[in-house]
Chains A and B, each alone.
Chain A
Amino acid sequence: MSLPGSYLDGRSPVPRPVMLERDHHQLVFTDGVKTHRYPAGQVDFETGLPGLPDKLRLPDGGVIEVAQQHRCRHMAGGPPPWERLLAWLHGGWTILVVLLIATVAAVWFAYRDGLPWLAAKVVRQTPVAMEKQMAEQTMALLNKTVNLRPSGLSDARQRQLQGLLDQVKPANSPYHYELTLVDSADIGPNAFALPGGHVLMTDQLVRAAKSDDEIMAVLAHEAGHVENRHGLRSVVQYGGVSLAITLLTGDSTSMLALAPALLADMKYSRDFEREADHFAFTQLEARHVSPCVLGQFLQRMSGRDDGSANLLASHPSTEERSHPNGAQCPAGG
């Protein structure tokens, strides 16, 4: 049993036709000048890609090319399993379609559940002090970009509102809650939670509320953001999506790459709002306040045309909020 091959010694670019033979545990061939013998165990097989010859790599840097139709690889027991798997994956169009579907499903799953789960895990390991530092940076940026004036509300009223915030926080919270009231026509009636327990609320919102229950509902919603550490989680999740896009396309600055990142961010932000709502519903119910108040108040705000869209951008639908924890709320507000 012998195979025709082409021998290159690695020292000169002159191919020599040879006949390969197996003599017990040795590979034997004659290049016309001398007979070469190599222990079969020291010869590396390399299966050729489509259209390319198989290669037998010799320990001294030489190589023997054998045309694929001789299936020299298969005489030595065939390629290793992973090589066979790769050849199978590259073998046809059907498997390519299956692989495509599997990949799309995997990406969808990673985006919907994988990344949020990972972010929550990472965030659990992060000290509260780091969140405070993040909040300071955000606050500095806010002060630079929008017009914030000190609140026009009386100290007593401010203390009362701080009391509302302290009421809706869970008893075992690691956060120290601090409410800052500001007067800002730029922002309009709105409230933000910064990571670390700092809640910012505008006078405009306080004035728009018909009762303290409504303010408490909003504060409970913001406390939900703080307790679930949404600030940090959104940073990690946005970073994860951007990194994935950068690695895939080699570019994270172009509009084409930015669009999916922004879309993903909006979806995550809706999920956070839903989580904060859920937290607020639970807290309100525990204080015998109807959870419907939150949805009604927000709906009233969204009907107004004075920049209150901030609070509602990328939020769950009002429809969803009118069914807190599955309950049916009375219409109107």
Chain B
Amino acid sequence: MTENAENRIQPGFTPSPAPAAPPPAAPLRFTFSGDGAEFFRIWFVNILLSILTLGIYSAWGKVRTQKYLYGHTRFAGSGFDYHGKPLAILKGRALIVGVIVLLAVAKQVSPLLELGMYLGLALFLPWAVTAAMRFRLRNTSWRQMRFNFRATTWETSSQIAMNIVIVVLTLGFGLPYARHRLHQFLVGHSWFGNARFDMSRCVREYYGVWFKGILMAIGASVALVVVGLIFTFGLGIVSGGGKTAFGIGIVLYVVLAYLFLLVMWMSVGQIIHDGFSNAMWNHTVLNSDGRLHRFQSGMTLGGLARLHAGNAILILLSAGFYYPFAKLRVLDYRLSNLTVFPDDNLDAIRARPLSDNAALGDAAADGFELDLGL
């Protein structure tokens, strides 16, 4: 990486043997090198073995999946690594299954008990979110250096509670703001070795993404209605009052309209989600002793719309079997648009020296994994 940066000959520059100041480091790119057929097999074997083992294999399958995806996510030529242990993941899943079963039983026994269970769950949620973030980042490494999430459960709880209050009080219109707050909090407490991530304010951009995403959905719906009206009129003329042809045409249109809405329903959320991430990365830096390594993400809403709508259509047409390929396409799109502009080079980053609560931290990292889709 550094060799690469220093050996690159800048246009209009004659390399001198001893430059007075270090040359500006070249941008570092992310790439994805996974193979669709390989990943399809990992995905499908995971589903089949999970069914055959009554869910137990799913923990091992998750580790295999993550190792494959992380390993093929390359930054500056080196892959990431996933260190989650299957048993920790199994523990997390057993917990979730236990909660589902308990809720079902409570529902049978008495509504009051069910309500109590939900309240208990609400109190437990912030802790679970903190533990899950911690588990995910601590078990991620690049060049054998671990990431970390360093926020207390209390900080996370108040953050989540505030976000829920904001979204509810604003009848949903505060959602981009709440997302922005959450991202700022999560990024701001993430570390790579002794370097800390930081995200600057960009609420305006989150709202931009949100409004454009919603406008896109409304525009597509209007287009659907217009096309439907034209189609119906055209059909009326063509069929010349023939009832059967007209009826078949209408049924066809209803089916297509339903599929269209399904595709939209599947993709709009993802487009907005990735749009938020795009804004997040563009305002994120990695702060290593005052040197700021800047991120840049070049995803566009048009590109995201094509990607996610295309994936949704192919997933529907293939009865779900396109899913692993879709996942790789999304990863490839996200990563190929992400660039780091390092200030000097990244080699100066060091692992954080072990502090007194390191032992506790390790225990938490081995704790359990929860898929919360954050």
Contact = CB atoms under 8 A, between A and B. Distances in A.
Interface residues of B, number: 37
Given A50-B35, A100-B48, A239-B104, A8 B143 contact: yes
Interface in A1-53: 8-15, 48-52
A99 B35 CA distance: 21
A100 B44 CA distance: 9
A13 B142 contact: yes
Interface string A264-277: 00000000000000
Nearest to A137: B108
A51 B45 contact: no
B49 to A, nearest CB: 7
B351 A99 contact: no
Given A63-B144, A100-B48, A51 B34 contact: yes
Interface stretch (A154-162, A240-248, A294-302, A312-320): A240-248
A14 B346 CA distance: 9
B45 A11 contact: no
B67 interface: yes
Nearest to A91: B41
Main SS at interface, chain B = helix
Interface in B14-67: 33-35, 38, 41-42, 44-45, 48-49, 51-52, 55, 60, 64, 67
B100 A61 contact: no
Interface residues of A, number: 35
Interface string A121-154: 0000000000000000000000000000000000
B68 interface: yes
Given A52-B72, A61-B144, A103-B52, A90 B33 contact: no
Contacts of A12: 145, 347, 349-351
Contact of A15 (B49, B68, B78, B346): B78
Contacts of B364: none
A142 to B, nearest CB: 17
A260 interface: no
Name which of A51, A89, A246 has the most chain B CB atoms within 10 A of its CB.
Answer: A51
B313 to A, nearest CB: 17
A48 B33 CA distance: 14
Nearest to A246: B100
Interface in B104-134: 104, 108
B143 A247 contact: no
A89 B71 contact: no
Given A13-B347, A90-B45, 16 more contacts: A13-B346, A48-B71, A51-B34, A51-B71, A52-B68, A52-B79, A89-B49, A96-B44, A99-B48, A103-B48, A103-B52, A235-B108, A242-B104, A243-B100, A247-B55, A248-B51
Interface of B: 33-35, 38, 41-42, 44-45, 48-49, 51-52, 55, 60, 64, 67-68, 71-72, 78-79, 81, 97, 100-101, 104, 108, 142-145, 193, 346-347, 349-351
4 nearest CB pairs, A to B: A8-B144, A13-B143, A52-B71, A103-B48
